[in-house]
Amino acid sequence: MTTAFPDLVPAELRKRWAEQGHYLGRGIHDLFRYTAMAHPDRTAVIDDHGQVTYAALRTQVLKIAGHLLELGVEPGQVVAVQLPNSALAAATELAVAAVGGVCLAFPIDRGPKEVDSLLRRSRATVLVAATEHRGRSPYQAARGLRSGLPELRWLVAADPHTGGPMTVARPVEESDLPVVDPGSAARILVSSGSEAEPKMVAYSHDALAGGRGNFMASLNHGQDTLRAYFLVPLGSAFGSNGTSVTLARHGGTLVLNHRFETERTLSYLDRHRPTHLLGVPTMVRMLLDLADENRPIQPTTLVLGGAPLDAATARRAKTVFGGPVVNLYGSADGVNCHTGLSGDPCDESGPGRPVGVPDPSVVDIRVVDDQLCEVPSGTTGEIIALGPMSPLCYVSDSALDRRYRTPDGWVRTGDLGAFDSQGRLRVVGRLKDVVIRGGANISPVEVEACVRTHPDIADVCCFGVPDPLMGERLSAALVLGSDGVEPSLAELTAYLKEHGLDSHKFPESIVIVGALPLNPAGKVDRDALRRLVG
């Protein structure tokens, strides 16, 4: 069964972006094939099992593509992929693109309830799932869901250690692969937000390799071959810059681990010398706790997204990692802006956090009021975005299209921001992340930035908890510093008062945690923290 993916961006805009050179006019697999033929001995992927060249990865892609064709996968059909970060995951995504399918990749730690929702709403015909990961079997869990998914025709077991049994006798001939329209759907990105069910967003080959590829191009170092170490899952929205961008668009090297572990990450940095490290600020703060500031790590560009980056973390990371620190603002829904290689992610001259100047080869950005009219510089409003990386639509959900897309194609992010007088965007918070206490709005991001400056606190996450009197109250989960000194709520309140935070924004309860829990996409799991508070 084929799922419909209408393009909510006006056709004349897509045509204009193609004429301006923002699109490459070729499918993701075709771009990968070109690099594999031109540089067969170049390392494509480094993972927990070793190194894979472009030639070897190309052979694996064609074998998996042949397997998918044998199963009857047709252009436009959805193939779901639940695999850990690995060469196998990258090869599977490229193989889906090769046969004209639409890859629904999602983090391997998604639970059965979410997996059922994703497969059902996407009308996936095939699921490729790992036979084992961290003591559980996503493949076996999916078998238990199959009776309620009549459109799921095939479950394919993939051993994350050997890659089997997704092979055929010989690779399919590339001449037997279908011709792929670069404007057609290539991948579905899954949000990690707070919707009752994860949002799914369809992207074309052009939007991924072109629009998102332009983003990564702006962060590369001249003639250097991109070596991108992804700490986030390839199946996350942030991780979508891996296979289709790092490999297919830029012919670079992907560095991957099955899961994020601080000791192993530091070892990989020393051993494999990536040009870029991509992750969320929480991961980097964990790495900084182990790193030696007197012995900088091999210079690496840090690209940090998925959560607000505070100035203290940015400064320390620049010292320890010895390279630029890029504050990235992006989402599955179709927005991207960053501070760049020479920008200042530590700028505290205005509200929120700086995220740089929008790049029209990626997306244009506006800040608007509730009537979608642009507001003057310095005025806070909702951030909306439209450009070459703009997605096609939300998947099988016209209600989300009406809610988050304007009639002329702009994506409504639900984020609050403001432009300064020099055209630089600052992100202030999220409309729905605001904690409303007795009618007063509190931005958790603002409170976190102040709490994180406390000398005894290594990290923090603030969140609202239900309250029968006030509606919500603000709570803070604290990760203590290396000395293990635990500030009391009264001491923390006094510190925040001394540093100028308004009294109605003070946390009213605290909980001490060893580390902030991360959800499958690598972001802080606020729901898990709420459960700790009760």
- Please write the tens of the pLDDT for every residue from 43-99: 999 999 999 999 999 999 999 999 999 999 999 999 999 999 999 999 999 999 999
Instruction: Give pLDDT, residue 501.
Output: 84
C-alpha to C-alpha distance for 234 and 240, rounded to whole angstroms: 6
Instruction: Using the predicted structure, report yes or no on whether residue 121 has a pLDDT greater than 90.
Output: yes
- pLDDT by residue (tens digit) across 371-412? 999 999 999 999 999 999 999 999 999 999 999 999 999 999
Architecture of domain 435-533: 2-Layer Sandwich (3.30)
- Regarding pTM above 0.75, the answer is yes
C-alpha to C-alpha distance for 510 and 124, rounded to whole angstroms: 43
Give me the residue label for tokens 């091999």: 298
Instruction: Give pLDDT, residue 194.
Output: 47
* CATH level 3 topology of 11-205: Rossmann fold (3.40.50)
Give the residue-averaged pLDDT of 421-440. 80
Residues sharing a CB contact under 8 Å with residue 192, sequence separation 6 or more, in sequence order: 198, 236, 237, 306, 332, 519, 520, 521, 523
Instruction: Give pLDDT, residue 4.
Output: 87
Contacts 24+ apart (CB under 8 A), 426-429: 426/350, 426/351, 426/352, 426/353, 426/354, 426/355, 427/308, 427/329, 427/352, 427/353, 427/355, 427/383, 428/351, 428/352, 428/380, 429/352
pLDDT above 70: percentage of residues in the chain: 94
Mean of pLDDT over the chain: 91
Instruction: Give pLDDT, residue 162.
Output: 67
Q: How confident is the model at residue 196 (pLDDT cuts 50, 70, 90)?
A: low
Of 347, 19, 234, 149, the closest CA to residue 356 belongs to 347
Instruction: Give pLDDT, residue 294.
Output: 57
| Helices 262-272 + 281-290 axis angle, to 10 | 80
Three-class secondary structure of residue 139 per DSSP:
helix
- For 358, other C-beta atoms within 10 Å of its C-beta total 23
- pLDDT by residue (tens digit) across 142-192? 999 999 999 999 999 998 776 555 555 578 899 999 999 999 999 999 986
Yes or no: say if 364 and 346 are a contact pair by the CB < 8 Å rule. no
CA angle 382, 388, 390 (to 5 degrees): 50
Domain ranges of the chain: 11-205, 435-533
- For 433, other C-beta atoms within 10 Å of its C-beta total 19
Instruction: Give pLDDT, residue 502.
Output: 78
Give me the residue label for tokens 């301006």: 20
Higher pLDDT, residue 41 or 161: 41
Of 249, 236, 230, the closest CA to residue 304 belongs to 230
Structure tokens at 241: 């810059």
- Name the E strands within 160-239: 185-190, 200-204, 227-230
CA angle 484, 490, 496 (to 5 degrees): 85
